Chains A and B, each alone.
Chain A
């Protein structure tokens, strides 16, 4: 299982690009962090998610 934004997801073996597409994210509007390190957009197609990984997918919202 991969913990994505705090929720366990069955995404083992999927690339970041595959996960973003499956979940319905626009990859241009998000940044992705895997196990504390940023995944550059150029690596979305090659970065593979594995069991035990922790992933954060973030975007901009209104704020002060």
Chain B
């Protein structure tokens, strides 16, 4: 297990839990990162506010990789613009592409995401596109230079779990990049299940932000993700289509 690394764009990580930083107090970030064991945290880029004198960067422990997203982008051009501004903010080359045209379901625009991936990968970004799980789109993202593919489990912020399970499994089976399940994972058991399926990592935000005790839930997710990863590496036992199979010897019974 010590050698089990997550490699994204040539960068090595040991944690398979990518933490969001939205919708909760900046003061909880340090505890969340610590208890999640997270090495990557997502951020958003917004118009600056002179009244906001505290910077979120001051609350993120050193050594944690920053993964700015392009939320708010409605097309590839806007996503590219936000990514460039994020890089100018001095956080490295990672970017999570997020392009949405509707605010009701917040579903990613796969075609625009492919376009943005191609442009940003050429500019040297480590591109992690958030996408609706579709094998053809995932293949296009690979060709466009993505460093990972991030399919949604269910609508963002819904905590509904693996609604798109079958299609994420197809991506895991067919795509030679880390498949990081992003959006909709609400419970540690759902994160564990995705990891058992062979997902490379889990990204979660709302599940923690809306939990009763955020750091405790971060710890629970960490354990679930690690358990699921171990189960995947171990290889799950088979499932019988019908009938039963005794676990005990079928000889030596205490009868004639």
Q: Is the CB of A40 within 8 A of B88?
A: yes
CB nearest neighbor in A for B55: A29
CB nearest neighbor in B for A41: B88
Q: Is the CB of A33 within 8 A of B45?
A: no
Q: Is the CB of B48 within 8 A of A30?
A: yes
**Distance in angstroms between the alpha carbons of A51 and B118 in the assembled complex:** 35
Q: Is the CB of A64 within 8 A of B156?
A: yes
Interface residues in A24-42 (C-beta closer than 8 Å to B): 24-26, 29-31, 33, 36, 38, 40-41
Q: How large is the interface on A (under 10, 10 to 19, 20 to 34, 35 or more residues)?
A: 20 to 34
Interface residues in B56-91 (C-beta closer than 8 Å to A): 56-57, 66, 68-69, 71, 81, 84-86, 88-89, 91
Q: Is the CB of B47 within 8 A of A63?
A: no
Interface size on B, residues (CB 8 A): 38
> CB-CB < 8 A to B71: which residues of A?
63-64
**Distance in angstroms between the alpha carbons of A6 and B47 in the assembled complex:** 9
Q: Is the CB of B156 within 8 A of A62?
A: no
> CB-CB < 8 A to A29: which residues of B?
48, 55, 57, 89
**Distance in angstroms between the alpha carbons of A5 and B47 in the assembled complex:** 7
Q: Tell yes or no: B203 within 8 A of A by CB.
A: yes
Q: Is the CB of B89 within 8 A of A64?
A: no
> CB-CB < 8 A to B84: which residues of A?
38
Q: Is the CB of A58 within 8 A of B46?
A: yes
> CB-CB < 8 A to A31: which residues of B?
45, 85-86, 88-89
Contact of B48 among A5, A6, A36, A38 (CB under 8 A): A5
Q: Is the CB of A59 within 8 A of B203?
A: no
Q: Tell yes or no: B113 within 8 A of A by CB.
A: no
